[in-house]
Amino acid sequence: MRRARQIKDHASEAALFRRRALAGFLLALAGLGALAGWYFRLQVLRHDEFATRSEANRLRLVPVAPARGLIYDRKGRILAENVAAWRLEAVPERAGDAAKLLASLQGVVALDDEQKAQFLRDYKAARPFKPVTIKLRVPDEEAARFAVDRWRFPGVELVPYLGRVYPYGDLFAHVVGYVSRIDEKDLAALGDAGGAYSHTGKTGLERYYEAQLRGRPGFRRLETNVAGRTVRALDTLPAVPGTDLRLSIDAELQQAMVDAFGQLEGSAVAMDPRSGEVLAMVSLPSFDANLFVNGISHADFKALNDNPSRPQFNRVVLGGVAPGSTIKPLTALAGLDSGLRQPGDRVLSTGVFRLPGMRGRGWLDGVHGWTDARKSIYESVNTYYYQLALDLGVQRYDEYMTKYGFGQKTGIDLAGEIEGIVPSPASKMKYAKQRWYPGDLVNSSIGQGLWKVSPLQLVRGVAAIADGGNLRRPHLAVAQRAGFDAPWQPLPQSPPARISDHPSNVKVIQEGMEMTTGGSGTAARVFRGAPYRSAGKTGTAQVVNRGATAVDPRSLPLWKRHRALYIGYAPAEAPTIAVAVAVEGGGFGADTAAPIVRKVFEAWLLGRKAAPPASKEMPAASAKPDFSDVRGTPATAAPAAPAPVQVGR
């Protein structure tokens, strides 16, 4: 039987096609809808975000370093300036192999081993199109030589910039300080703006006023390609230069103070007692601040660190010494203000002082006879202060010394200032891990024992006496200006504190200090013939324990000799300058410290230049050496008053 012919169902096939076509259309429509939604999200909902990111890929902001503010002395002399300089830079992708580049540059630009090593390290770590510094501060002669041969060095350029220079070298190293190349810690502190700066203040005023001196960076907007390379510069936001500073320091007086020391080492501060303005401040020996600006060499750094005199150590701000007898005027004022003493009250000085109930035990002193407040200052009579301190008691003594500014920072505009130490049971336990004895207060009364004061605290104290009891904040910067053509704006200062509510008591102290420089005073020989009246107080602080007897410092090696101290002001009737001097290994205050102060007075008051001493040895002994400053140690041992503890010397 013949098989039946199969007939196609066109209707069902057409229906199936329509269903499949509809499904495909719906899928395509869904895909187009999703794509449209995605484009809508990109182009509308997140337009601002992606437009910003796209612009960022095309544009790059490059910080522009501002000119650092200048620093002037009180008469307009520049102490820190910016000078046009050249640095040599290489772009790795164009300059090629670093070792070959250095070898070819050797005959054109002088490079030492440290510079080569630093360049190789930076070159290896740098991105190919980022310039790497080969040498900072290229001398003009080398810059001219490179300009002639520039065609030989593709990718190497001389770039102009402003470099920091200190015209006075070592004269203001501890005052102005220095800037140095910025490091990772500095960059982290500066944040996004850190890329604009190559240097930052490290010490002195450069560090204290860093925020004002460095200015605000500008920016250049550059168009870049996909590789990040610059195509063209679009516009520039100029940098704002740093603030200029004017100091109270006088460069001529500063030099005169250094000359007055000669070869001696130590520190000194001169201050205007009427305002707190620091007129001169030296720490000797010093160093050339310019060495640090572009990175000090290993040889120079080792020479500074190996110097036993520590040139980098700022003795004025960081150094602490026992004040010796320079503390006596303020101790006498405490006695008068407390009511325990009247100006005419007298104490008998017999040459030895003993604590009540003691036998065979005593603190040595010269035989001065009956002594009142004035005589206790100008003849430096220890016995007067031994008994006064015991009558005051350690708590009240500590309160008065704190009121006079000791044991606390003066607030000077320099970083790192020490607080010092005022003798007390708490401070002895803290620093010496020993209990307090009555004899400790006796030692403290003449500035020996656990004392630690800075020359800044001493000059602040003597300036307060000179100014009738006004304790002022020492400061260096007095004015600032925001541009060369802008007027100077004075920097505000805090009002002074009063150290005494009794002007008549301050007058007694002033009279005693005036008598120090005349008659039988301990500094009379030094100031004899001066064409002005001055007031002062000698002091000597022991460095090593002398044991049972007083030792003439001239019999000791230089490093074991006592520190010579002197505080004073002039003219006595209307003071315009107060000075504190500490001479290391100087022996007696009247021998070395007082002559320095006289030279400083005459440089300020008379315009005389100081003649430096001929040698580092102390002058010949005076007819009546002042041993009273250094006879604070009992002559024999006893549990009631052990030998003074030397702390922080």
Q: Which residues carry out catalysis?
A: 325
**Strand partners for 80:** 71
Cβ atoms of 526 and 598 closer than 8 Å: yes
| Token digits of residue 178 | 């220095």
| Residues ≥6 apart with Cβ < 8 Å to 297 | 112, 114, 291
The whole-angstrom separation of Cα 589 and Cα 180 is 38
Query: Tokens 């505009």 label which residue?
Result: 413
Percentages of the chain per state (helix, strand, coil), in multiples of 5: 40, 20, 45
Ramachandran angles phi, psi of 587, nearest 5°? 80, -110
Closest CA to 452 of 272, 646, 295, 291: 646
Query: Tokens 């200006």 label which residue?
Result: 481
Residue 646, CA distances (Å) to 365, 375, 643 in order? 21, 29, 9
Q: How many residues does the chain have?
A: 649
| Residues ≥6 apart with Cβ < 8 Å to 465 | 329, 330, 333, 506, 509, 510, 513, 569
Distance of CA 634 to the CA centre of its chain: 39
Closest CA to 511 of 273, 634, 645, 343: 343
Query: Tokens 């050496």 label which residue?
Result: 625
Query: How many degrees, rounded to 5, is the angle at CA 433 between CA 427 and CA 437?
Result: 70
| Residues ≥6 apart with Cβ < 8 Å to 60 | 221, 222, 223, 224, 228, 230
The whole-angstrom separation of Cα 615 and Cα 617 is 5
Pairing of strands 59-64, 577-584: unpaired
Over 242-280, what HEC string results? Answer: CCEEEECCCHHHHHHHHHHHCCCEEEEEEECCCCCEEEE
Cβ atoms of 541 and 448 closer than 8 Å: yes
Cβ atoms of 153 and 119 closer than 8 Å: no
Amino acid at 617: E
Taking the CA of residue 61 as centre, how many other CA atoms within 13 Å lie in the half-sphere pointing to its CB? 13
Ramachandran angles phi, psi of 85, nearest 5°? -145, 170
Pairing of strands 244-247, 71-72: parallel
Amino acid at 388: L
| Token digits of residue 5 | 């012919």
Residue 456, CA distances (Å) to 257, 283, 309, 488, 520 in order? 15, 12, 20, 27, 29
DSSP per-residue letters across 185-231? HHHHHHGGGGGG-SEEE-SHHHHHTHHHHS-B-EEEEEEE-TTS-EE
